[in-house]
Structure formats: C-alpha cells, structure tokens
Structure 1
Amino acid sequence: MLNPLLLEKSILLRLLISSRPEAHIQRFFDMDPIKASCISIHLDTSLQLSDDIRSFLENGFADMLQDSDFSYALSTVPRPWPSASCMDKLVQKSFGQFLYASTVLKYVGDPDCHPVDQLTNIMEANT
C-alpha cells in the first residue's frame, strides 16, 4: 500500500513510521527507488541502554513477586523469576526501547491473567 504513495512525486506526503528493526520491514525500505525517498533513524541500542532496560525489567518483576495480588500465582514459581536467560531474551527483544519493556511488564502484570502464562506467551511469540 505504501509503495505507490512513496513513488508518486506529485503527492506531498510525509509519513513517520516507527518500528523495531524487523528484517522484512527493513528490506522494504531498502528497495530502490523507495530508499531514495526515505530517511532512516536508528535509535540508540548501546550496552548502557540495555543495562538500563534490564534493571527496569528486573525491578518490575521483583515488584510483581512482592505484590500480594500475585503471591498465590507465583508461590510455586522457581526463583529467580524470570530466569537469567529469559531476561536476556527480553532485553534483546526490546532493541533498546523502554516502550517494549514497559509493555511486557503491563502484559505480564495483568491482574486478570496468570503472570507465568503471560510471560510464556511473550517468550513464545515470533518477534
């Protein structure tokens, strides 16, 4: 749908598209002649930012473990929860974006759902 709009020079159109660096999206915007009409800005994904996101996630999950609303649901979950490998994956999936990490915590912390099941859904999602 975007392809004809981006190629039509008589239409004055500016779009802001925000996305994680998904391969199929990147390939689309790397195609000639679309590439010539687009500007790509890569956001910071430095190690410092990854450390900050890890800390944010760790604190959020620690709050859930302390929350009396989740005490029964999380009482049999092995500690640490989530595991170190799970945390590594979540940090990697965030691509340096706090929005992703915040959304994960809100989704997992949904009071109407089981937090372990919610986290499993995220970890099994194809992202």
Structure 2
Amino acid sequence: MRFYCHTRRLERYSLAASESPDPQARLTVSWIRRRDSHILTVDRYTFIADERFQAFLVEATDTWTLQIKYVQARDAGQYECQVSTEPKMSHFITLNVVVELNMTSALANYATEAGVDLS
C-alpha cells in the first residue's frame, strides 16, 4: 500500500525558502498514524520498529510516499502527511482494510473442533 504526498510548489510557504537556493530541500515531511499520534517517518528516517513502514521521495515529482508492506487489519485508520510549511500543511488519508474470511476453512476448523462430520 502506498500513500502519496505532493510537495511541489510549497516552498513559497517555507520560511527557510529565502535562505536556500534549493528551498524544496528545506521542507520536512512527516507521516503520522492518527490513532495513536505515532510519528512513523520524518523525511527518509523511520521512527517505528515495524519494518513494513518506509518513506521515500520521488524527486522528479516532489512526491513523498509512505509505503506499508503486507498490510494488516491493524493498519486500518487515518494517516497524516504533515509538511513543515508555515503554517503547517497536512493531508489526511484513510486506509480501510477489508479482510476476506475463508468460510470453508473456518467451517472445517469448527467441525473438527466440535466433532461434526460435514460430508
């Protein structure tokens, strides 16, 4: 799963823009999981022990991407991309995770535990 946060042309909102010939390099992008306010990443630095989370920048489009590998039901919820403009700018994304239940497997397990013959 990938979430995208476009930062092109946001340098005009950065106080640091006047101090750098490359103002885009001065913008900091943080990805935050809203349910527990956990800062997942800041730029390319990851602040969560879960290695499924990674952020990277596509420089050609000034797009920061948060990637979550092997999405699980517990990953559902709202995520925030926060850009260090003045004032701060945020983009919110909601991840809905649909878990498919394998009824055949579930019934077979139930029948085995209960001693029921399904044939």
Could you tell me the TM-score, scaled by structure 1's length? 0.24
More helix by share: 1
More strand by share: 2
